[in-house]
Amino acid sequence: MASDAVIYEWHTGAKSYHIRQTTFTKCERAASYGLPWIKQRFAVEAAALRLLREQTNIPAPRLLAFDEDVNGLCYLVTEIVPGSVPGDMAAAECRMPHVHRPAQRNVPCAACDGIVRANADQFVRQVVLPQLSSLRSKTTGLDGFVIPPRWVYENDERVSWPVLSSPEYDFVFCHNDLVIHNMLFSLETLEVLALLDMEECGYFPPEIQQW
């Protein structure tokens, strides 16, 4: 199989996603719908991936490209994390049959689900939150954009959010979508291998961060 061949793809109203042998590509769709500030989301995610790699040791996919195509549609490319599975699929079957000895392997595994949830909680509390809280800014948002978390903008439909400033470093870096399906887990050990989906990241008051 050619390394640039699409292995799997799916689409939403706003974006299309393409998995290849070594890369994952997220693309803005023409006439996208369903998500506000779509172009800004791509810019924020690219900036967040760079920031995490440069200033933390939080594992995240390596950014390979962020740009616009000939039609002015944004795309973002990251490296595939080998041997990983998204959190919402990690317990779809038993990943440790030699330990759990399930009657059937290809069915959801409650034991694996418990391990996934425990590992995610430990990862967020011991790795993610302490490092994010150490990243501080005098202004809100990231890269000049403010994209509030979904639970905020679904209840406040303003068209844009201004960048706020403070004389002190009062704003901390927030992921704003810390959920299990935004983490990649090892297929063998179910340890967290990477944090995903940075498009709502930015500097906000500390209480905005939720887990």
Sequential pLDDT tens for the chain (211 residues) = 456 899 999 999 999 999 999 999 999 999 888 899 999 999 999 999 999 999 999 999 999 999 999 999 999 999 999 999 999 999 999 999 888 887 777 899 999 999 999 999 999 999 999 999 999 999 999 999 999 999 998 899 888 999 999 999 999 999 999 999 999 999 999 999 999 999 999 999 999 998 8
Structural domain contains residue 2: no
* Model pTM score: 0.93
* Residues spanned by the domain of 29: 8-208
Give how many domains the chain has, as a whole number. 1
Structural domain contains residue 1: no
| Nearest partner of 134 among 51, 42, 50, judged by Cα | 51
CA 111 vs CA 61, 182, 184, 191, 194: distances in Å: 27, 20, 18, 14, 21
Structural domain contains residue 175: yes
Structural domain contains residue 107: yes
